[in-house]
Amino acid sequence: MKTIAALSTGPDEPFTLAELDIDEPRPDELLVRIEAVGLCHTDLATKAMFPDGVAVVLGHEGAGIVERVGADVTDVHPGDKVVISYASCGTCERCGSGNPAYCRNFAQLNTSGARPDGSPTLTGPDGPVVGSFFGQSSFARYALTARRNAVVVPAEADLALAASFGCGVQTGAGAVVHVLKPGPDSRLVVFGLGGVGMAAVMAAANLGVRQIVGVDLSDTRRQTALKVGATDVLDGSAPELLTTLRQLTGGGATHAFDTTAVPGVIRTAAQGLASLGTLVLVGIGPDATLDLADLMGGGKTVRGSIEGDSDPQRFIPQLVEWQLDNAFPMQEIVRVFPFSQINEAVARSHDGSAIKPVLVFDA
């Protein structure tokens, strides 16, 4: 069958809409009619990696309606609403221990450009198109995904608000819930108030964390953070940021979360921890230099996290429940764009005026 997709053909080329052939679902696959898809920094970073002339369909925060299911899929049905998340094998020891974000086959399943056996899901006039991005390639009206990737959500779920639960929101909220695990008396500082950072703030608010400090260069984002659960905000460009942070948190944060991947920010985040504090990093960037004496003398922990250490089948329903209970105000950070305006959404993501762009289909 045919699908309209946003095609990338070079790092500096705009997305163009093209009609492609999409394969039929195999026994363990679903064909999903995408209704909404989040635009994530990972999409844009990956776009920049492919050379000119290589046709790629990205998109990895898809949500939609199940159109057809493969013969082996018995627990999902046409008409079900689903949020699509990252791919994992389900059989390696890491998946078996409840850590699918660290699946041994993660790279092959999510970034190889095809199914695990090498077969394409999308074909254009010139042959196979690089697809299966995060097991979905959901910058398209229709997407194929494995049953394991798809999380069924209630019929009343707003897919425009829930789409980014599949990656960015799961990463931020999951890092708080599953890795940092702050308690009611904790003092959490979130560095970088994009979609991932805002998700961390909202998750911490749902856990009842006493102090949630948001740090960002943008005053608009700082004000939005206060609306979604932050108790305090700080300007990331302030010359005495570290001193102010320590004062505000009564000597240092118990927990910190960095989304920026900026070496100087990471160093400040670590130095701003109180003794025995924990910093979690989710951004990928250049090497950062940390003060080892400060880390060792304070017994501090610094660790990375992928996808918030989340199992999508368990965590996405929790996020949807919070959203439906009006306890996870995604409407404050989502900015909706028609799918045909994907390049406008990219521009607004780059200039920071859209915290969480989401593309929606209107027909």
Give the model's pLDDT for residue 113: 96
Q: In the prediction, which pLDDT does 363 show?
A: 63
291 touches 80 (CB < 8 A): no
Fold exhibited by the domain 172-305: Rossmann fold (3.40.50)
Q: Which long-range contacts (CB under 8 A, 24 or more apart) does 225-228 make?
A: 225/190, 225/193, 225/197, 225/198, 225/201, 227/329, 227/332, 228/198, 228/201, 228/202, 228/329, 228/332, 228/333
**Gap between the Cα atoms of 354 and 119, Å rounded:** 36
Write down the pLDDT at residue 362: 80
According to DSSP, the residues that pair with 297 across neighbouring strands are none
Burial of 350 (0-12, 13-18, 19+ CB in 10 A): exposed
Question: For residues 219 and 234, what is the distance between their CA atoms, to the nearest angstrom?
Answer: 9
Fold held by 2-166+333-360: Quinone Oxidoreductase; Chain A, domain 1 (3.90.180)
Domain extents for the chain? Answer: 2-166+333-360, 172-305
Claim: this prediction has a pTM higher than 0.85: yes
- For residues 111 and 98, is the Cβ–Cβ distance under 8 A? no
- pLDDT at residue 264, rounded to an integer: 95
Mean pLDDT by runs of 10 across the 363 residues of the chain is: 97 96 97 97 94 96 98 97 97 96 97 95 96 98 97 98 98 98 98 98 98 97 98 96 97 98 96 98 91 95 97 98 97 98 96 96 79
